[in-house]
């Protein structure tokens, strides 16, 4: 019989096999140890902050990156305010994949201003902030969809050294200040998009309340009523009265209804949520939901409320209006039903108040009704002086006298003054241009 111990110890092939196994096992242990060591060091030395796309700060941070982060990377390319070593490191990690953010604005004269800003796209990038290197990892999950926006779910993860974690708070604070500064002194217009409100276009410059000239005392009365409502929430709560207010501005086209609402929002520091009741796919449930989740400090505007229901009340209960599926009863319930929200200010406008159902304009749904008609002699003089200056008061009275007995809307007056903006006397001499407009004949 063969000596087994000698076979194992003296056989060179067997010994080599054991050696290979030992080396392989040793390398595997070392590799696993290195991996665990790297993970441990990463956990101890690095800290990350993940920002999902549904979080409010997501857009803030992207906007901040477009303004500050990319500019910092460009500074690294040129070596501005950084050391030679930092410049070498930064050049090695510059992003190779960028995304574009476009801002577009069309001016009143028809010209267009367009700005393109580059931000880090999908993938990993590094930028320098206050002496700390920050890694940005922007990832998109195509299999996950944001239910509210129907957009692919995204995350932005910021990573830096643990000792520099304080920069996260600084970045969020700076991003928030930058985002709020973009809207400071401006009015944001919101429109409905599915079940949520989204900003429509760029924030508008606040319109001065004095720029919309209403008849004597009308503007002051509405402003006083709105301010009284805003400052008396506790009074409503103590008496169990729903804390909401409805206004109806009615009158002929061009009388300044929408312009006044925009100026009022600027005066109050509020935004405007524009809701089109004839929108395709709008339902009773969605209407109720939109009114409930309207952004804080916003005026909800329902323009041309009479056009939304051209049928009789009974007919609108049987069939939806054209593209929209909102029923008349659904609108009434959204305005003051059990599920309707508090802390709400709604403005409705119409050119034909006689077409509105009495159930819509009763107190509780419409608390204040204000008629805005064609320009009165008071409005005519005030608008003339606003365009040309108070030193032309005599010309303003002459202009108003020539226009007496003829209907002219404030929009028509404004158009006339714009045509003759450089010469007040020319506006008076050519007043016949207004008199000859359709619908401007003697209204008595």
Q: How far apart are CA 88 and CA 190, in angstroms?
A: 46
Q: Is 137 exposed, middle or buried (0-12, 13-18, 19+ CB in 10 A)?
A: middle
Better-predicted residue by pLDDT, 8 or 181: 181
Quick one: DSSP state of residue 442? B
CB neighbour list of residue 180: distance below 8 Å, 6 or more residues apart: none
Q: What is the dihedral of CA 168, 172, 175, 177, to 10 degrees?
A: -130
Please report, for residues 94, 100, 134, 239, 368, the alpha-carbon distance to residue 120 in angstroms, rounded to integers and kept in the order given: 10, 9, 12, 54, 51
Residue 189 · residue 308 · CB < 8 Å = no
Listed in sequence order, the residues at least 6 apart from 129 whose beta carbon sits closer than 8 Å to its beta carbon are 68, 69, 72, 167, 171
Residue 73 has pLDDT above 60, yes or no: no
Residue pair 123/137 in contact (Cβ under 8 Å)? The answer is yes
d(CA 411, CA 374): 9
The architecture (CATH level 2) of 204-371 comes to 3-Layer(aba) Sandwich (3.40)
d(CA 415, CA 418): 5
Predicted pLDDT at 18: 55
Which of 24-35 are b and which e, b meaning 16 or more Cβ less than 10 Å from the residue's Cβ?
Answer: eeeeeeeeeeee
Residue-range domain boundaries for the chain: 47-184, 204-371, 377-435
Query: From CA 194, how far away is CA 287, in angstroms rounded?
Result: 10
pLDDT band at 85 (very low <50, low <70, confident <90, very high): very low
The tokens describing 158, both together, are 């910021």
Lowest mean pLDDT among 10-19, 76-85, 91-100, 222-231: 76-85
C-alpha 266/C-alpha 201 separation (Å) is 17
Strand residues in 110-213 grouped as ranges (E): 112-120, 123-129, 132-145, 152-161, 186-187, 189-193, 196-199, 204-205
418-437: pLDDT as tens digits: 999 999 999 999 999 888 77
Give the pairing type, strands 132-145 and 152-161: antiparallel
Report the pLDDT averaged over residues 264-293: 90
The distance of Cα 119 from the centroid of its chain, to the nearest Å, equals: 21
List the end-to-end C-alpha distance of the chain, in Å, as a whole number: 135
Q: Rounded mean pLDDT of the chain?
A: 79
Residue among 434, 381, 436, 382 at smallest CA distance from 409: 434
Give the range with max mean pLDDT: 55-59, 64-68, 154-158, 359-363.
359-363
Q: What is the pLDDT of residues 249-271, one digit of tens each?
A: 999 999 999 999 999 999 999 99
Cα separation of 207 and 187, whole Å?
A: 8
Give me 30's structure tokens: 């070392």
- C-alpha–C-alpha distance, residues 345 and 337, integer Å: 15
Instruction: Please answer whether residues 187 and 258 qualify as being in contact, where contact means their C-beta atoms are separated by less than 8 angstroms.
Output: no
Residue 125: the pLDDT is: 77
Residue 123 has a pLDDT of 77
Q: Which H, E and C letters describe 227-256, residue by residue?
A: HHHHCCHHHHHHCCCCCEEEEEEECCCCCC
Looking at the predicted structure, is the pLDDT value of residue 304 above 50? Answer: yes
What CA–CA distance (Å, rounded) separates 141 from 165?
A: 27
Residues 6+ apart with CB under 8 A from 24: none
- Under a CB-based contact definition with an 8 Å cutoff, are residues 154 and 100 in contact? no
Q: What is the pLDDT of residues 155-190, one digit of tens each?
A: 888 888 877 788 888 888 888 888 777 767 789 899
């Amino acid at each position: 019989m063969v000596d087994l111990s000698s076979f194992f110890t003296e056989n060179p092939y067997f010994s080599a096999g054991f050696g290979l196994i030992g080396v392989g096992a040793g390398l595997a242990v070392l590799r696993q140890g290195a991996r665990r060591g790297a993970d441990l060091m990463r956990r101890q030395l690095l800290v990350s902050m993940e920002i999902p796309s549904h979080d409010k700060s997501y857009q803030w941070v992207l906007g901040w990156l477009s303004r500050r982060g990319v500019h910092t990377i460009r500074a690294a390319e040129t070596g501005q305010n950084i050391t030679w070593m930092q410049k070498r490191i930064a050049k090695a990690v510059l992003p190779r994949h960028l995304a574009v953010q476009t801002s577009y604005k069309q001016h009143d004269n028809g010209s267009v201003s367009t700005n393109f800003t580059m931000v880090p796209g999908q993938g990993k990038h590094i930028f320098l902030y206050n002496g700390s290197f920050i890694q940005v990892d922007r990832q998109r999950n195509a299999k996950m969809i944001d239910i509210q926006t129907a957009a692919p779910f995204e995350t932005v993860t910021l990573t830096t050294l643990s000792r520099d974690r304080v920069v996260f708070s600084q970045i969020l604070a700076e991003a928030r200040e930058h985002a709020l500064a973009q809207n400071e002194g401006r009015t944001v217009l919101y429109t409905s998009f599915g079940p949520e409100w989204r900003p429509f276009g760029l924030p508008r410059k606040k319109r001065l309340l004095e720029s919309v000239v209403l008849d004597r005392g009308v503007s002051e009365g509405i402003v006083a009523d709105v301010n009284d409502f805003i400052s008396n929430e506790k009074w409503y709560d103590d008496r169990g009265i729903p804390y909401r207010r409805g206004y109806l501005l009615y009158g002929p086209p061009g009388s300044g209804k929408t312009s006044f609402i925009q100026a009022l929002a600027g005066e109050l520091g509020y935004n405007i949520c524009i809701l089109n009741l004839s929108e395709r796919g709008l339902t009773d449930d969605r209407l109720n939901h939109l009114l409930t989740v309207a952004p804080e400090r916003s005026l909800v505007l329902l323009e041309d409320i009479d056009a939304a229901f051209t049928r009789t009340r009974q007919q609108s209960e049987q069939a939806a209006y054209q593209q929209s599926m909102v029923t008349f009863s659904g609108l009434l319930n959204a305005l003051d039903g059990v599920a309707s929200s508090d802390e709400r200010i709604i403005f409705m406008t119409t050119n034909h108040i006689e077409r509105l159902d009495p159930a819509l304009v009763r107190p509780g749904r419409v608390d204040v009704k204000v008629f805005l008609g064609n320009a009165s002699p008071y409005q005519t003089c005030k608008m003339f002086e606003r365009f040309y200056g108070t030193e032309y008061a005599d010309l303003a009275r002459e202009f108003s006298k020539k226009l007496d007995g003829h209907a002219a809307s404030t929009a028509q007056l404004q158009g006339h003054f714009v045509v003759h903006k450089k010469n007040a006397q020319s506006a008076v001499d050519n007043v016949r241009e207004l008199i000859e407009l359709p619908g401007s004949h003697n209204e008595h």
